[in-house]
Amino acid sequence: MDSELPLAMELQHRFDLLAAGRLSDVERRARLRSGEGIALLADLCDALESGHLRVTEGNGLGEWRSTVWIKRALVALSGAGELQPQPGPLPGRELDSLGWRDDRPAGCRVPAGSFLRRGAYLAPGSAVMPPTTVQAGAAVLEGAQVDSHVLLGSGVLLGEGAVVGCGSMLAGSLLPEQALAVVLERGVVVGGNCGLYGSLVVGERSMIYAGTVLRAATGVFDAVKRHWLMPDAGGTLRLPNGCTVFMGVPPAEAFADGIQRASALLLSS
């Protein structure tokens, strides 16, 4: 490869060459597990961990997208691994292709007991309290704080100064490739024991009360404007800046079947 090519273009080109052609499952697996495939996965993870690449990208205008080729490469290269025993006080079996980070990023507070998958990015000034799991392709930006017993799925992005309370789960997304993971923009606060699922963007400085369950596909009821906020044509639900979200029961007329049920309620900013 031309050393002058941008890193993203170089890595994408290497993956495209590796995955090209009509191959049987056996041939494809052998190619992905070759020395070239192993080196590519290591270089891809290094680029994600350094922040040079990101699974979830924004354009600065509140629009977010998934970088499809990175997701495709992570699925293909890591999925080609083989199960191997894991020694230690808590033995297990794991794929040998996409392990856990042995290092802890400089300038980050990551006490012993948290698990960072290879390909996870933590910016200087961020903090992750144990036991928390951060999956490949997730990004925790400057000043973001993650409390104990949290799961950040693949591709999840925590904006600058975002806070996630203990026991919360933010769903990632590697498949389908175009689907966006959960995005918390700058200064969002998520209380404890929350569940955020699907392609969901929470606008800046918003507050998600403890115990709230947000499912992008089912929408959020705006308790002020008395209507549902639903996903866009691409399947992404966008919550406005500065909103407050909590669990409640919308009026019966808000449901097509007329049966009231607990849902996420939104108070507009």
Answer yes or no: is 123 within a domain: yes
pLDDT at 3: 44
pLDDT tens digits for range 199-230 = 999 999 999 999 999 999 999 999 999 999 99
Are residue 260 and residue 152 in the same domain, yes or no? yes
| Higher local confidence (pLDDT), 4 or 82 | 82
Q: Span 161-169, mean pLDDT?
A: 98
> At 72, is the secondary structure helix, strand, or coil?
helix
pLDDT confidence band for 60 (50 / 70 / 90): confident
Interatomic CA distance for residues 222 and 198, integer angstroms: 19
Are residue 174 and residue 240 in the same domain, yes or no? yes
pLDDT confidence band for 171 (50 / 70 / 90): very high
Picking from 83, 7, 84, the residue whose alpha carbon sits closest to that of residue 40 is 7
Are residue 133 and residue 36 in the same domain, yes or no? no
Are residue 249 and residue 149 in the same domain, yes or no? yes
The number of folded domains in the chain is 2
pLDDT at 87: 82
Say yes or no to pLDDT of 12 above 80: yes
Answer yes or no: is 108 within a domain: no
Task: Please give the model's pTM, rounded to 2 decimal places.
Answer: 0.94
Within 13 Å and on the Cβ side, how many CA atoms surround 256?
Answer: 2
Interatomic CA distance for residues 199 and 201, integer angstroms: 7
CATH of the domain at 32: 1.10.166.10
pLDDT tens digits for range 107-162 = 999 999 999 999 999 999 999 999 999 999 999 999 999 999 999 999 999 999 99
Q: Span 238-243, mean pLDDT?
A: 97
Say yes or no to pLDDT of 88 above 90: no
pLDDT at 268: 78
Share of the chain above pLDDT 70, in %: 98
pLDDT at 188: 98
pLDDT at 6: 93
Are residue 65 and residue 149 in the same domain, yes or no? no
| Higher local confidence (pLDDT), 48 or 23 | 48
Domain that holds residue 217: 115-267
* The domain boundary residue, chosen from 30, 64, 82: 82
CATH of the domain at 169: 2.160.10.10
Answer yes or no: is 87 within a domain: no
Q: Span 56-66, mean pLDDT?
A: 90
Whole-number average pLDDT of the chain:
94
Are residue 69 and residue 176 in the same domain, yes or no? no
Judge whether 7 and 53 are in contact, CB under 8 Å. Answer: yes
pLDDT at 245: 98
Are residue 161 and residue 235 in the same domain, yes or no? yes
pLDDT at 269: 61
Are residue 54 and residue 173 in the same domain, yes or no? no
Answer yes or no: is 60 within a domain: yes
Least confident of 56-60, 128-132, 162-166, 193-197: 56-60
